[in-house]
Amino acid sequence: MAILSASPNSFSQLAVLSSDWPGGFWLHWVFFTVIILAFVLNTALIFIWLERRALGRLQVRLGPNRVGPFGLLQPIADVLKLLTKEDMIPAKGDKLVFWLAPLVAFVPVLMIFAVIPFQSGALLADLNIGILYVVAISSVAAVGVFMAGWASNNKYSLIGAMRDVAMLISYEIPIVLSIVGVVLITGSLSLTEIVGAQQNIPFILLQPLGFLIFFLGSLAESNRTPFDLVEADSELVAGYHIEYSGMKFATLFLAEYAEVIAMSALMTTLFLGGWQGPLLPPIIWFLTKVFAVFLLIVWIRSTIPRLRIDQVMAFAWKFLLPLALINLLITSLQIVFWPEASPWLIVFLNLVAMAVLVLSWSRFFRLGGERIEV
Amino acid sequence: MGLEIAFWVLAVVAIAAALAVVTLRNVFRAALSLILCFLAVAGIFVTLSADFLAAVQILIYVGAIAVLIILAIMLTREVERGSLSNKLVVPVLISAILFFGVATFAMLNTSWPVVSLPPAEPTTALLASKLFGEDGFILTVEIAAILLLATIIGAITIVREK
Please check the confidence at residue B162 and state whether its pLDDT lies above 70: no
Substitution target in B39, B45, B49, B58 with the highest count of A β-carbons within 10 Å is: B58
Q: Is A172 on the interface with B (CB under 8 A)?
A: yes
ipTM: 0.80
Closest by CA to B31, choosing from B21, B41, B23, is B21
* Amino acid present at A104: V
Q: Is B122 on the interface with A (CB under 8 A)?
A: yes
Contact criterion met (CB below 8 Å) for A274 and A202: no
A262 Cα distance to chain centroid: 4
**Smallest CA–CA separation between B63 and chain A, in Å?**
5
How crowded is the C-beta side of A140, counted as CA atoms within 13 Å? 27
In sequence order, the 6+-apart residues with CB closer than 8 A to the CB of B135 are none
Q: What is the pTM of this model?
A: 0.84
Cα(B153)–Cα(B20) distance, integer angstroms: 35
**H-assigned helices in chain B:** 2-23, 27-47, 51-56, 67-74, 89-108, 123-132, 138-159
Across the interface, do A136 and B59 touch by the CB < 8 Å criterion?
yes
Cα dihedral A215, A220, A224, A228 in deg (nearest 10): 160
Please check the confidence at residue B143 and state whether its pLDDT lies above 90: yes
Across the interface, do B51 and A189 touch by the CB < 8 Å criterion?
no
Closest by CA to A144, choosing from A86, A204, A102, A85, is A102
Q: Encode B36-80 in three state secondary structure.
A: HHHHHHHHHHHHCCCHHHHHHHHHHHHHHHHHHHHHHHHCCCCCC
Q: Where are the domains of chain B?
A: 1-82, 123-162
The mean pLDDT of A342-357, rounded to a whole number, is: 83
Cα(A319)–Cα(A372) distance, integer angstroms: 11
**pLDDT tens readout for residues A97-134:** 888 888 888 999 888 888 888 877 777 777 778 888 88
Query: Model confidence at A369, in pLDDT bands (50, 70, 90)?
Result: low
**Class of the CATH-defined domain B1-82:** mainly alpha
Contact criterion met (CB below 8 Å) for A367 and A313: no
- Report chain B's terminal Cα–Cα distance, integer Å: 62
Question: A85-94, A360-369, B106-115: which has the highest mean pLDDT?
Answer: B106-115
Across the interface, do A128 and B70 touch by the CB < 8 Å criterion?
no
